């Protein structure tokens, strides 16, 4: 499986704002996640639920910018800026690095988020 192609495809889906679809399409069932706020998921279904809740709280997408992706073996690192207005009146502006570990089948088995600011 070509991890660079998989990472490029996944980043394209995320760039379009289809974050739930990205998880459904590219995550292995036993994938884990963690972020810089200490939130973690232990399988694909938990991550789908987390992303559905997050996506449902977005009022307006002001921009999703994919800056770069690096791939080394079965690890990728993608840099994004996310700019959202939320339904509760708050604003989210994240500049983050998303590190993914991929399995031999081309599915994400571990994803971790780092604040790039």
Contact in structure between 34 and 40 (CB atoms under 8 Å): yes
Asked if residues 80 and 96 have their Cβ atoms less than 8 Å apart, the reply is yes
| Fold type of domain 3-115 | Nuclear Transport Factor 2; Chain: A, (3.10.450)
Domain boundaries, the chain: 3-115
40/50 Cα distance (integer angstroms): 10
Spatial distance between the Cα atoms of 76 and 92, rounded to a whole number of angstroms: 24
- pLDDT value of residue 38: 86
pTM score of the predicted model: 0.92
pLDDT tens readout for residues 15-66: 999 999 999 999 999 999 998 888 899 999 999 999 999 999 999 999 999 9
Burial class (CB in 10 A: 0-12, 13-18, 19+), 24: middle
């Amino acid at each position: 499986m070509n991890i660079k192609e998989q990472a490029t495809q996944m980043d394209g889906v995320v760039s379009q704002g289809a974050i739930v679809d990205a998880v459904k399409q590219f995550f292995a069932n036993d994938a884990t996640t963690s972020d810089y706020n200490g939130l973690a998921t232990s399988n694909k279904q938990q991550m789908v639920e987390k992303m559905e809740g997050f996506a449902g709280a977005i009022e307006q997408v002001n921009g999703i910018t994919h800056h770069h992706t690096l791939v080394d073996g079965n690890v990728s690192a993608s840099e994004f800026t996310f700019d959202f207005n939320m339904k509760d009146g708050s604003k989210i502006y994240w500049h983050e690095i998303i590190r993914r570990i991929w399995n031999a089948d081309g599915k994400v088995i571990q994803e971790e988020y780092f604040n790039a600011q």
